[in-house]
Amino acid sequence: MAKHFNSRTGLAGSVLRLPGFMKEEREIREESKALLDLMHLSHRSAEQAKNLPYGELRRLEIARALATRPKLILLDEPAAGMNPKEVEELMSLIRRIRDEFKVTVFLIEHHMQVVMGICERIKVIDFGETIAEGLPEAVAKDPKVLEAYLGKRGA
C-alpha cells in the first residue's frame, strides 16, 4: 500500500521532480486508486470528501486508514447513521479488509447485527465494567448482557 511521501526521494527530489520522485508519486496514485476501487468509491475520485454522502465518507475514512498499512484498525461505530443496505455492505467490506489486509479490526459498535456478523471475539462493557467476554454465540446468551441491553423483562 501507500508509502510515506518523499520517503526515498527527499526534499530535493520532490522540488526538482526527479525520476525517483515521479515513480514514487505514480505508485502512491496507483495504490490510492486501488483503495478507492476496494471501497467502491472510484466514481467519486474527483470529488472533495466534504461532498460525499455519509456512508461513502465513512468508507473513505477507512481507505485513508488502510493507506497507512496498519496492523490494527479501530472503527468507532462505523454503522452509525447508515441504512440497512449500507450496513450490509459495510459488514462485507470489514470482513474483506480483515481477511485480505491481515489487519486486526477493533470495533466499537452498538449495532448488534454488525457486532454479531463480524466479530470473532466480543467484550461487552456496561457503564465501564466488563460484563461478558468471549465468542459471539456465548456472549449473546449471557444473562448479564441480556439484562443490560434488553432489561430484566427481556432477559
Res 5: pLDDT? 47
Inside any domain, residue 112: no
**Quick one: cell of 149?**
441491553
Rounded to an integer, what distance in angstroms lies between the CA atom of residue 95 and that of residue 73? 12
Going by C-alpha positions, the residue among 123, 72, 134, 120 that lies closest to residue 97 is 72
Inside any domain, residue 32: yes
Inside any domain, residue 29: yes
Output 43 or 7, whichever has higher pLDDT.
43
Res 8: pLDDT? 63
Inside any domain, residue 10: yes
Question: Average pLDDT, stretch 90-108?
Answer: 92
pLDDT digits (tens, 9 = 90+) for 13-66: 667 777 777 788 888 888 889 999 988 898 988 889 899 988 888 888 999 999
Inside any domain, residue 97: no
Inside any domain, residue 33: yes
CA dist 46 → 34, 109, 151 (Å): 15, 31, 48
Res 7: pLDDT? 57
Res 138: pLDDT? 94
Inside any domain, residue 154: no
Helices 54-66 and 84-101, interaxial angle, to 10°?
A: 10
Rounded to an integer, what distance in angstroms lies between the CA atom of residue 88 and that of residue 79? 9
Res 6: pLDDT? 46
In the chain, what percentage of residues exceed pLDDT 70? 88
Inside any domain, residue 22: yes
Domain span at residue 30 reads 1-38
Tell me how many domains the chain contains.
Answer: 1
